[in-house]
Amino acid sequence: MESIVEGFKKVAIASIADAVDKVCGHRGYMSSNIKPRINEERICGPAATVLEAATDEFLPPQHALDLIDEAPRGSVIVISIESGQPDVAVWGGLMTAGAVANQHVGAVLDGAVRDLTEIRRDYGFPVYARDVSPGTTLGRYRTVASQVPVVVGGVIVHPGDIVVGDVDGVVVVPHQKAAEVLAMAQEIDLRELEQAKLIISEKSLRAGLAKYGRI
């Protein structure tokens, strides 16, 4: 899996999305609301998941805190919150410090992130989130499980699925199909490079489309 993750780091997000469509027969890219909020750094790694649910109790996000310490190095922490609530921050500066200490590569949130100034200044840790908000989950949401299937940005994420994100968006690759998706994404990248060269040399978009049939 480590070599597969390394392969996905070098492939275009659009090629990965197209490959998931073809190999898996379903959409793998998240809603465009899930976007980079700290920087434009690319993320790529196996998902470590957390599920949150509504509550009126003042409880810490214990499952998330434990997972940050316990997930394998190089994980992408993925947090799902019921209804994708954009006005509650499920991630902040202290959780970022824990993620950096444990050498994780990023976070993807179906809620909001806060402490942007701190995260940008002290860590540069990439966080992809539905929104930005100063609001706490305390008294509003609680973590109910970790390392379970969750839905983020309209896509199901299983623990261990490969999560890849950059300024184009976030794509989830089912871990059972990861090698097949990577091979097809690499092929798509190569064909697009050849097609682009032909378009430039022939000074014709139609010539490239006629030969390769891809747009």
Render pLDDT for 200-213 as a digit per residue (tens, 0 to 9).
Answer: 776 767 766 766 66
Task: Give residue-wise pLDDT tens across range 92-130.
Answer: 999 999 999 999 999 999 999 999 999 999 999 999 999
Pick from 135, 119, 150, 115: nearest CA to 30 = 150
- Residue reference for tokens 């950059």: 166
User: In the chain, which residue ranges form alpha helices assigned H by DSSP?
Assistant: 2-8, 13-24, 62-70, 93-101, 116-122, 178-202, 205-212
Long-range contacts of 68-73 (CB under 8 A, 24+ apart): 68/95, 68/98, 68/99, 68/102, 68/104, 69/98, 69/102, 71/102, 71/104, 72/46, 72/48, 73/102, 73/103, 73/104
Strand 155-157 relative to strand 150-152: parallel, antiparallel, unpaired? Answer: antiparallel
Q: For the residues 15-40, what does the mean pLDDT come to?
A: 97
Task: Give residue-wise pLDDT tens across range 171-189.
Answer: 999 999 999 999 999 999 9
